[in-house]
Structure 1
Amino acid sequence: MFTVTEYSAELMKDPFGILSGKRYEFILDLDVADDDELYHDEGVTLRVIYVIEEDTARIAKYEFLTTSSNKYIDFELEEDEEKMVLAFCQEHFDKPEE
C-alpha cells in the first residue's frame, strides 16, 4: 500500500471536441514502504487520467513512473488501491468555471 504525499491535477484540453466528458491528468507522488514490491530508490509517481462523463467518474488510464527519471514501472493497482485512487481524484479535482 502507499500514501499520496503531493499531487497536481490539470484539466486536459480536447482541441477537436471528439472525447466525451472532461478528462483530468493527476500526477500523484507516492510514499511507498521499503518492503513493498512497488518501492523504487528513485521514488514512485502515479500518473492518472481521470474521466468525468455526466454523473459517472472513472479512471481511464494510469501508469507508475519513477519520480526522478520518469521511467515506466510495470505494475498494476490492486482493487483496493484503485478504489482509493479513484476516491482521491473525486475529492481533489478542480471543477473549472464554465
Structure 2
Amino acid sequence: MLAITGYSVEFVKDPFGILTGERYEFELDLDVPEDDELHSEDGLYARVIYRVEEGRSGIVKYELYERSTRKYVDFELEDEELSQLAAFCEEHWQEADK
C-alpha cells in the first residue's frame, strides 16, 4: 500500500477551450514499503493529471518518477493503488489556485 507523504496541486489552464471539464496536475510524494517491487532507495513521486467534470471525475494520466534523479519509472500501479491516488486527488483538487 502506498502512503502519500506530501503533495502539490496546480490548475491546468486550457486557453483554447479544447478540453471538457477542468484539469489539475498533482505531484504526489510516495512512501513505498521496502518489500514492494516499486520501492526505490531514491524515493518516488507520481505526476497525476486529474479531470473534474460534471458527473464524472478521475485520473486522466499518471507517471512515476524517482525523487532524487527525476528519472521516469516505467511501472503500472495496481487498481487498488490507482483508486487510492484518485481518492486523494478528489479530496484535494479544490486547493489549486485558478
| TM-score where L is the length of structure 2 | 0.92
- Structure 1 residue aligned with 2:2: 2
Is the partner of 2:94 in helix, strand or coil?
coil
Identity fraction in percent = 52
Aligned pairs for 1:15-94 (under 5 A) are 15-94=15-94
In the comparison of the two structures, how many residue pairs are matched?
A: 98
Cα distance in 1 for partners of 2:90, 2:69 equals 28
Judged with a 3 Å threshold, the aligned counterparts in structure 2 of structure 1 residues 47 and 97 are, in CA distance, closer, same or farther, namely closer
Gaps of 5+ in 1: none
Deviation at 1:94, TM superposition (A): 1.6
Instruction: Report the aligned-residue RMSD.
Output: 1.6
Task: Give the partner amino acid of 2:26.
Answer: F
| TM-score where L is the length of structure 1 | 0.92
Judged with a 3 Å threshold, the aligned counterparts in structure 2 of structure 1 residues 41 and 92 are, in CA distance, closer, same or farther, namely same
Is the partner of 1:94 in helix, strand or coil?
helix
Larger mean Cα displacement after TM superposition, 68-77 or 20-29: 68-77
